[in-house]
Amino acid sequence: MASGSTRVIKRMCTVCRALKDRTELIRLVKPTGAVQIIPNPDGSISGKGFYICRQADCLNKLQKDKRLRKNFSTKLTPETTAWLQEQLNSESAETAEISPTSCDEEVKDL
């Protein structure tokens, strides 16, 4: 029993290979014995799972990249693809504009 460990688990995006917090990634899974990949946001389905970023960029690459196509994209069901698009749409709709607060730099006369 591992207790007291509260460290954030990082997962790797299959497409861009960036390590990210689980919440920033979308989990997909190929259930054991199945040939098609389905969404599995809560991680409840056991099988060969993988993650991709919640970014149109990574989703597009997943569908276009030759290597990824062979491994993943051809196995995505139309429902899965639609679901992924929805994730992106809902995500971008909620995205608040974050303006970086510029730190007041002291301009010094040299």
**Interface ranges with Zn ion (CB under 5 A):** 13, 15-16, 53, 58
**CA–CA dist 110, 40 (Å, integer):** 59
Helix (H, G, I), strand (E, B) or coil at 28: strand
* Inter-residue contact 20 to 53 (CB < 8 Å): yes
Helix (H, G, I), strand (E, B) or coil at 48: strand
| CB 50, min distance to Zn ion, A | 11
Looking at beta carbons only, is 34 or 70 nearer to Zn ion?
A: 70
| CB 53, min distance to Zn ion, A | 3
Residue 29 φ/ψ, nearest 5 degrees: -145, 145
Looking at beta carbons only, is 17 or 108 nearer to Zn ion?
A: 17
| CB 109, min distance to Zn ion, A | 46
CB neighbour class for 62 (10 Å; exposed up to 12, middle 13-18, buried from 19): buried
| CB 30, min distance to Zn ion, A | 18
Using only C-alpha atoms, the chain has a radius of gyration, in whole angstroms, of 19
